[in-house]
Structure 1
Amino acid sequence: MKNILITSAVLALISGAAWAEAHDKTVRLGTEGAYPPYNFLNDKGEVDGFERVLGDELCKRAELTCEWVTNDWDSIIPNLVSGNYDAIIAGMSITPEREEVVAFTQNYTPPSPSAYAAMSADADTQGGIIAAQTGTIQANHVVDTGATLLEFPNPDETVAAMKNGEADAVMADKDYLIPVVEESGGEIVFVGEDIPLGGGIGMAFRQSDPELKDKFDAAIQSMKDDGSLNELIIEWLGEDSPRF
């Protein structure tokens, strides 16, 4: 079975160049550019981070010419569907609700935990005010717990709200919160247990573009097979981050 999967992946990768030639286009990769270490803008104003390195490698393996486009998180799916770019690679967790609108590749990170962070270990995460980014699985979880959700368009604003007292705690991917906690010098702490949400992170495509999705799916599989995806996860997300 593994040999069959590898053969299928190789065939899909070989056809990547043919797809690009037939469609005569550069593949536009949409990301947020504001969610380190997954994606952020560096000092030159360029997209950087785990997903920049990953996306460039996937395009190379699929023999596709790609360019990066940034878009605010709260409209990132609508702008994919309307054709402003061809794929989303932006720390987007695979969920049944999103699968009703877009087509996901297999995950390129395993399901990783979400977490609460606050200025005090006694922060009320179940009945207090919790800051989370709009349109995220964490925001949905806060609503489900019965706590008061305070939404912001980008993750930096959620942390700022917690720091200035607008919110009792912030909830986000733990990979995002780890450097926030570590760089606070003890001022910010994790609260409670980690919370598993979502089915891992994948690339999202218009449902009308299955051929393009398949090219990236095959490239992701090839990186899983040769171990290079795990190497990137360790480099960018840390030794403790779940990997394949």
Structure 2
Amino acid sequence: MALTAVCIFLLWVMDTPVSIFDSLEILLTVIAASGWLGFFMVQPNQAKVMTLFGSYVGTEKRSGLRWTIPLFKKRTVSLRIRNFESAKIKVNDNQGNPIEIAAIVVWSVTDSAEAVFEVDDYESYVTIQSESALRILASTFPYDPRDDDEAEIALRSHPVEIADQLATGIQERLGKAGITVHEARISHLAYAQEIASAMLQRQQASAIIAARNRIVEGAVGMVEMALIRLSEKEIVELDEERKAAMVSNLLVVLCGDKATQPIVNTGTLY
């Protein structure tokens, strides 16, 4: 600013053309004009990475109008939080079943110098490494938990644990590029089309078996309670054969898929 004011003063005040003053005016004008090139604007949540002749000299993160040496080369890096949703990829889980899976990753640049100098394109790096971590995660765990005492973490039944594992895996890959992963979670999870129908039947069969187990367990308890109550109240004396017949009839009534049709015996008990 001072050089600009001096140049304007010389241009308007100097009446006699003198070569030395002309050269001085030209030099000061060039210096003043080049000084204006050093001004730059930093927006909120934005950083300017500056280099001089290929050497890193610093990063400016303070928002507002700034000035630096005009020879500095400045590159803008956004520090805002971003969302990335991967494409649906097909991969085999740890049991060999083909599945389709996709994820959402919430990330931001925390070290602008590493994001610029450690990788060629940090946005592309986020995309590729996130999908790589998602593939490894999907192949490490099963789609559904096993139906035994050794049940383990599964993709479908343990969303919180899977999300933590995914975020940790992605962060290990992106940390070297100055990127922080704030959240990662699965957005799409399904069996591949070629086995979806068979796996649906398997899930239905598992649900039916589980429901039958609960029904039989409840029916046995009700039969046991009925026999105990009849014995305690001394309503009727039943021999072993009659007890077996009663248990069979009650189990048929309680465990049947359809409503039973009762038959009333109007004759004697025996």
Task: Judging by fraction of residues, say which structure has more helix.
Answer: 2
Which structure's relative contact order is higher, taking Cα pairs within 8 Å and 6+ residues apart?
A: 1
TM-score (normalised: structure 1) = 0.20
